């Protein structure tokens, strides 16, 4: 007969609730985790205190001149002093209301589009006409027009965040229709058209944006007849669009490929022409699928916009360098760069967050 001996009772389980429980579960669950946690804490200890000290605690927010700023920490009054430069570049002070007004108009349009379901019956007409008129308004407001009595402000005066937004927006809007054509061309059964599209896409994708910018900056006028002049900003816009088009085309190609075969067949069976099929059946679905990726490509473009500084256009990042050449504020480049970084980061973060919500909204697979 076997005799049963009781095993020793196991110790009571560790607390799984409360702060202590959370800490053991998430930070100190094993030896390795404990070591890693301590390492991470040490890393935070090395980075955070000096950073916070430089940015906030020892920083100077109210100094009027460079000399009043303590040398050891950030001097934020410099940013305040140069704020106009960072936002508008050399755009004349008395005309700042123009970009501001444009911003208000843009936000209004965004609101109208957001709440377009309130006036369903003519929704598309409103939105389409807005998109048709908007670029004109934007151009006349920013550049000006003698006939309308708005003084012309040459683009070499444009700069700062305003310019960054202009370049990114024009890039995305202009590259959109061309991108659709290129995507369709790449998918086309017509060999010559397919070849041309593929060649263009692969050529541009293989080279850095900066070489394209160099090309348009130096070579573009040589390609046109004598006497055709190109604005420096316009050249940059052409280069950016040439570049962005390719990425938009690839994004839309992805969308086109995701449209089920049956949709093509159904459209063909209904007797629609190629154009009708594309405009009413395929493209709307493809674009809907691509929207999150289009936003993603816009984010990439927004980041790439900074490169225009290399061909001498003063976007916000270039201003951070330009502003330090002011002898009153020598040695304040770090503040400028950090400020630009914070502004860009917030904008890009908001955009990528928006792209994620879009992705959720358009995800119809359940």
Partner 1 sequence: MFDFLSNNKIRFILFQVVAVLIVAYVAYYAISNLNYNIERLGIRSGFDFLGIRAGFEINERLIAYTVDSSNLDAFYVGLINTIVVSVIGIIFATILGLIIGVARLSSNYLISKLAEVYVEIFRNLPILLQILFWYNLLLIVLPSPRNSFDFFDKVFLNLRGVYLPKPIFESDFSWVLIAFFLGAFLSFLIKRFFSKKHDETGIKQRTWHYYLLSLLGLPLGVYWLLGSPLHFDYPSLQGFNFDGGLSFSPEFLALVLALSIYTATYISEAIRAGIESVDNGQKEAGLAMGLTQTQTLKFVLLPQALRVAIPPIINQYLNLTKNSSLAAAIGYSDLVGVFSGTVLNQVGQAIEIILMTMAVYLTLSLLISLGLNFVNHKMRIKGLNE
Applying CB under 8 A, the residues found at the interface with partner 1 are 26-27, 29, 33, 36-37, 40-41, 43-44, 189-193, 196, 203, 205-211, 214-215, 218-219, 221-226, 302-307, 309-310, 317, 320-321, 333-334, 337-338, 340-341, 344-345, 348-349, 352
For residues 81 and 304, which CB has a smaller minimum distance to partner 1 in the complex?
304
How many residues are there in the chain? Answer: 366
Tokens matching residue 160 = 């700062």
What are residue 150's phi and psi, to 5 degrees?
Answer: -105, 120
CA 34 to chain centroid, in Å, comes to 39
For residues 151 and 257, which CB has a smaller minimum distance to partner 1 in the complex?
257
Q: Provide, rounded to whole angstroms, the least separation between the CB of residue 64 and partner 1.
A: 24
How would you class 120 by CB atoms within 10 Å of its CB: exposed for 0-12, middle for 13-18, buried for 19 or more?
Answer: exposed
Q: Distance between CA atoms of 247 and 206, rounded to whole angstroms?
A: 12
145 three-class SS: strand
Q: Distance between CA atoms of 78 and 333, rounded to whole angstroms?
A: 10
Q: Provide, rounded to whole angstroms, the least separation between the CB of residue 106 and partner 1.
A: 22
Of all helices (H) and strands (E), which one includes residue 330? Answer: none
Q: Provide, rounded to whole angstroms, the least separation between the CB of residue 348 and partner 1.
A: 4
Q: Provide, rounded to whole angstroms, the least separation between the CB of residue 341 and partner 1.
A: 6
Q: Provide, rounded to whole angstroms, the least separation between the CB of residue 273 and partner 1.
A: 9
Q: Provide, rounded to whole angstroms, the least separation between the CB of residue 168 and partner 1.
A: 11
For residues 96 and 264, which CB has a smaller minimum distance to partner 1 in the complex?
264
For residues 141 and 161, which CB has a smaller minimum distance to partner 1 in the complex?
161
What is the CB neighbour count within 10 angstroms for residue 173?
15
Dump the DSSP string for 152-197.
P--GGGB-HHHHHHHHHHHHHHHHHHHHHHHHHHHH-S-HHHHHHH
Q: Distance between CA atoms of 240 and 237, rounded to whole angstroms?
A: 5
Tokens matching residue 27 = 């930070």
Q: Distance between CA atoms of 315 and 301, rounded to whole angstroms?
A: 14
Q: Provide, rounded to whole angstroms, the least separation between the CB of residue 215 and partner 1.
A: 5
């Amino acid at each position: 007969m076997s005799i049963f001996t009781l095993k020793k009772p196991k110790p009571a389980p560790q607390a799984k609730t409360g702060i202590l429980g959370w800490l053991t579960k998430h930070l100190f669950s094993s030896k390795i985790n404990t070591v890693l946690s301590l390492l991470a804490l040490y890393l935070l200890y090395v980075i955070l205190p000096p950073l916070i000290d430089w940015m906030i605690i020892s920083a100077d927010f109210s100094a009027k001149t460079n000399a009043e700023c303590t040398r050891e920490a950030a001097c934020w009054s410099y940013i305040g002093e140069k704020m106009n430069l960072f936002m508008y570049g050399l755009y004349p002070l008395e005309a700042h209301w123009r970009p501001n007004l444009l911003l208000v108009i843009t936000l209004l349009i965004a609101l109208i589009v957001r709440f377009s379901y309130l006036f369903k019956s003519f929704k598309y007409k409103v939105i389409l006409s807005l998109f048709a008129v908007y670029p004109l308004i934007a151009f006349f407001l920013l550049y000006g027009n003698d006939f309308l009595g708005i003084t012309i402000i040459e683009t070499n005066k444009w700069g700062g965040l305003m310019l960054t937004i202009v370049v990114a927006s024009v890039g995305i809007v202009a590259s959109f229709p061309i991108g659709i054509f290129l995507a369709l061309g790449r998918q086309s059964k017509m060999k010559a058209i397919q070849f041309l599209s593929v060649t263009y896409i692969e050529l541009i994708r293989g080279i850095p944006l900066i070489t394209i910018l160099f090309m348009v900056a130096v070579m573009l006028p040589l390609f046109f007849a004598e006497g055709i002049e190109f604005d420096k900003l316009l050249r940059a816009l052409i280069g950016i669009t040439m570049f962005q088009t390719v990425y938009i085309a690839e994004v839309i190609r992805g969308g086109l490929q995701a449209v089920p075969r049956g949709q093509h067949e159904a459209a063909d069976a209904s007797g629609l022409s190629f154009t009708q099929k594309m405009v009413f059946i395929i493209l709307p679905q493809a674009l809907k699928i691509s929207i999150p990726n289009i936003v993603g490509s816009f984010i990439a473009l927004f980041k790439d916009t900074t490169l225009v500084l290399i061909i001498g256009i003063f976007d916000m990042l270039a201003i951070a360098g330009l502003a330090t050449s002011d002898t009153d504020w020598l040695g304040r480049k770090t503040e400028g760069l950090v400020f630009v970084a914070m502004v860009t980061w917030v904008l890009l973060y908001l955009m990528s967050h928006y792209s994620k919500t879009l992705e959720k909204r358009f995800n119809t697979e359940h």
